[in-house]
């Protein structure tokens, strides 16, 4: 529930930010034009519809396209830095960051405060990269690497952009102007500002469709696991290209409806929604890390699918990550300086209330719907081991199959690339076959054998040929 709501809010904020860039470009051409919140809402909604239509095309799943997007994003970011440094009417040395940076925090070290601000933004790109990496052929190997390197690269990118902004903007205007767009207009010419806004517009759109890619896949996975009503309709894929178009439509519709709060007026409700996304996304990291710390030490070595681990450093780094996440949540809920609190204190402090509110919503939805329908933990295991959507029968139901969980009803597997291939047979994983037989106790569903382990220790599985059929 935390991840679902944070996905919707992130999508709403990305589309709203893109609408602000479009508005700034329009006002550069028509300076006397008055643009209200409903104009921004209309631009945001049109952008969401166009982005959703693009994500419904098979080309949106092309790895080469996303490589081109990555190169384009790096080029646009470099262009923004070059334009700021070459056209700004103010310049200062980057060394002054560590000597006379005027920060409004209680941290005495200016350089540490500068780098800490960048670290809080660095994790923003890791979550999207992780979801996109789940579409690869060896997701269990690629996902942790994608999260790690995406965080590092994003942190370096944030630091470079922040240094360029600090060298181009005066400290007085930095604290007086409400946004970066106003800072650019006050320091650069209209032509340079238009170029900078155009580059930021392209980068924001790529960020939005990447977030839409990740959010769509997550919504489709929830529908696959019967996480919300009418899931059998939302999880259907297109016949020819296996695209989750219905899940995309559902996500776009929900985002447009939530964006109505921003279209009405900028009130405490909208500020609460905008600021709650950081708490919800951090909770998506805090909860699994906390559960891992409560588990046995060998919890990652039981199913044979841990291709990328930190070995003996896993527990210490998990504690470090847990403490860091808690510190970020506490720091985000309070003002950095008493005199600078103003009206922001209420919004920043109350936004942390989104955590118990979402927990209450998740509890109510679980007892009203999820307890009787949700099968996520089962499918998250079987889809990795068999490559097909299957569902184990509930206690007392007998050995039956779920017609809504077959390959024909849902799709080939969780990977929805057109060129996806089944997971290769490795030590500890089950072979990809539709006719597996086993001498051990097991449950047969749709000609798929799911081994039933009597203890917590899983023995290695070896596949060998016997009478023309794979045997466990």
Those residues with Cβ within 8 angstroms of residue 308's Cβ, 6 or more apart along the chain or in another chain: 140, 141, 144, 145
Q: Is the pLDDT of residue 82 over 70?
A: yes
Angle at the Cα of 470 from the Cα atoms of 464 and 471, rounded to 5 degrees = 75
Buried b (16+ CB within 10 A) or exposed e, 149-185: ebbebbbebbbebbbbbbbbbbeeeeeebeeebebbb
pLDDT at 242: 81
What is the distance, to the nearest Å, from the Cα of residue 171 to the centroid of all Cα atoms in its chain?
Answer: 33
pLDDT at 54: 92
Q: Is the pLDDT of residue 334 over 50?
A: yes
Q: Is the pLDDT of residue 422 over 50?
A: no
Q: Quick: pLDDT tens for 149-193.
A: 888 888 888 888 888 887 887 765 554 455 677 788 888 888 888
Label residue 455 by pLDDT band (50, 70, 90): very low
Question: Strand pairing partners for 465?
Answer: 470
| Secondary structure class of 450 (helix, strand, coil) | strand
Average pLDDT over residues 212-228: 86
Label residue 348 by pLDDT band (50, 70, 90): low
Cβ-contact 428, 461 below 8 angstroms: yes
Q: Which residue has the tokens 């790690």?
A: 148
pLDDT at 50: 93
Share of the chain above pLDDT 70, in %: 62
- In angstroms, the CA 145 to CA 129 distance is 10
Supply the mean pLDDT for the chain.
Answer: 71
pLDDT at 458: 39
pLDDT at 180: 72
Average pLDDT over residues 23-38: 82
Average pLDDT over residues 336-343: 48
Q: Quick: pLDDT tens for 371-407.
A: 888 876 544 444 444 444 444 444 344 434 444 444 4
Percentages helix, strand, coil for the chain (3-state, rounded to 5) are 65, 5, 30
Exposed, middle or buried: residue 304 (CB in 10 Å: 0-12, 13-18, 19+)? middle
- In angstroms, the CA 331 to CA 352 distance is 11
Least confident of 27-31, 124-128, 213-217: 124-128
pLDDT at 107: 62
464-466 and 469-471 strand pairing: antiparallel
Label residue 211 by pLDDT band (50, 70, 90): confident
In degrees and rounded to multiples of 5, residue 149 shows phi and psi of -70, -30
Share of the chain above pLDDT 90, in %: 7
Q: Is the pLDDT of residue 440 over 60?
A: no
Nearest to 211 by CA among 417, 71, 411, 17: 17
Average pLDDT over residues 325-350: 61
Exposed, middle or buried: residue 393 (CB in 10 Å: 0-12, 13-18, 19+)? middle
Q: Is the pLDDT of residue 289 over 70?
A: yes
Q: Which residue has the tokens 């941290």?
A: 107
Q: Per mean pLDDT, which of 47-61, 84-98, 131-145, 182-196 is the most reliable?
A: 47-61
pLDDT at 252: 93
Cβ-contact 361, 321 below 8 angstroms: no
- In angstroms, the CA 428 to CA 384 distance is 12
Label residue 106 by pLDDT band (50, 70, 90): low
Q: How far apart are the first and last CA of the chain?
A: 38
Least confident of 62-66, 90-94, 326-330, 386-390: 386-390
Q: Is the pLDDT of residue 468 over 60?
A: no
- In angstroms, the CA 38 to CA 383 distance is 44
pLDDT at 202: 92
């Amino acid at each position: 529930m935390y991840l679902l709501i944070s996905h919707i809010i992130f999508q709403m904020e990305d589309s709203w930010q893109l609408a602000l860039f479009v508005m700034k470009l329009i006002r550069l051409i028509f300076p006397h034009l008055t643009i209200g919140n409903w104009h921004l809402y209309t631009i945001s909604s049109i952008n969401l519809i166009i982005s959703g239509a693009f994500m419904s095309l098979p080309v949106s799943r092309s790895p080469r396209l996303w490589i081109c997007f990555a190169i384009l994003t790096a080029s646009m970011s470099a262009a923004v830095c070059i334009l700021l440094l070459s056209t700004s009417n103010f310049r200062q040395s980057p060394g002054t960051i560590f000597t006379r940076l005027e920060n409004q925090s209680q941290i005495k070290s200016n350089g540490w405060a500068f780098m800490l601000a960048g670290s809080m933004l660095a994790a923003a790109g890791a979550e999207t990269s992780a979801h996109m990496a789940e579409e690869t052929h060896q997701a269990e190997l690629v996902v942790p690497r994608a999260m790690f390197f995406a965080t590092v690269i994003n942190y370096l990118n944030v630091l470079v952009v922040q240094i360029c902004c600090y060298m181009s903007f005066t400290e007085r205007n930095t604290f007086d102007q409400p946004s970066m767009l106003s800072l650019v207009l006050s320091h650069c010419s209209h032509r340079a500002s238009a170029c900078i806004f155009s580059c930021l517009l392209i980068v924001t759109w790529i960020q939005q469709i990447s977030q839409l890619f990740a959010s769509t896949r997550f919504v489709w996975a929830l529908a696959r696991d019967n996480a919300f009503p009418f899931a059998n309709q939302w999880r259907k894929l297109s016949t020819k290209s296996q695209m989750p178009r219905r899940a995309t439509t559902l996500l776009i519709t929900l985002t447009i409806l939530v964006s109505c709060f921003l279209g009405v007026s900028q009130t405490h409700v909208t500020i609460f929604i905008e600021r709650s996304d950081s708490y919800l996304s951090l909770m998506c990291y805090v909860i699994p890390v906390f559960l891992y710390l409560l588990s046995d030490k060998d919890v990652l070595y039981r199913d044979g699918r841990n291709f990328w681990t930190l070995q003996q450093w896993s527990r210490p780094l998990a504690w470090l990550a847990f403490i860091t996440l808690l510190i970020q949540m506490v720091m985000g809920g309070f003002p950095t300086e008493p005199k600078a609190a103003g009206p922001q204190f209420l919004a920043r402090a109350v936004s942390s209330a989104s955590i118990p509110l979402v927990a209450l919503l998740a509890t109510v939805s679980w007892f009203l719907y999820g307890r009787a329908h949700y099968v996520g933990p089962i499918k998250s295991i079987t889809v990795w081991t068999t490559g097909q959507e299957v569902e184990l029968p509930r206690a007392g139901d007998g050995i039956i199959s779920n017609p809504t969980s077959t390959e024909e009803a849902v799709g080939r597997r969780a990977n929805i690339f057109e060129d996806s291939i089944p997971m290769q047979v490795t030590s500890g994983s089950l072979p990809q076959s539709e006719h597996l037989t086993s001498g051990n106790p097991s449950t047969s569903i749709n000609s798929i054998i799911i081994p039933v382990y009597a203890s917590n220790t899983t023995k290695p599985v070896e596949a060998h040929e016997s009478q023309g059929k794979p045997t466990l």
